[in-house]
């Protein structure tokens, strides 16, 4: 989620951004290295789509 002068930060968009950041951080810290743990877009969206298990 990117913000510019046209977009206003609302409580729901803030919650969505923080949830996404939390998921990203949790997945990224499962591997050693700087970019090896970066999740794919499918992995990042899985928890919000109701998929509870992510195989990596």
Token pair in block for residue 28: 């990224």
Give φ, ψ of 49 to 5 degrees: -95, 5
**What pLDDT score does 7 carry?**
67
Cut 0.85: pTM above it:
no
Kindly list the averaged pLDDT for each block of 10 residues, start to end, along the chain of length 56. 63 86 90 86 86 72
**What pLDDT score does 21 carry?**
92
Instruction: Pick left, alpha or beta for residue 28 (phi over 0 → left; psi -120 to 50 → alpha; otherwise beta).
Output: alpha
């Amino acid at each position: 989620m990117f913000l510019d002068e046209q977009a206003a930060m609302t409580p729901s968009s803030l919650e969505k951004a923080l949830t996404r950041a939390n998921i990203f951080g949790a997945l990224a810290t499962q591997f050693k290295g700087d970019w090896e743990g970066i999740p794919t877009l499918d992995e990042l969206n899985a928890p919000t789509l109701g998929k509870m298990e992510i195989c990596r």
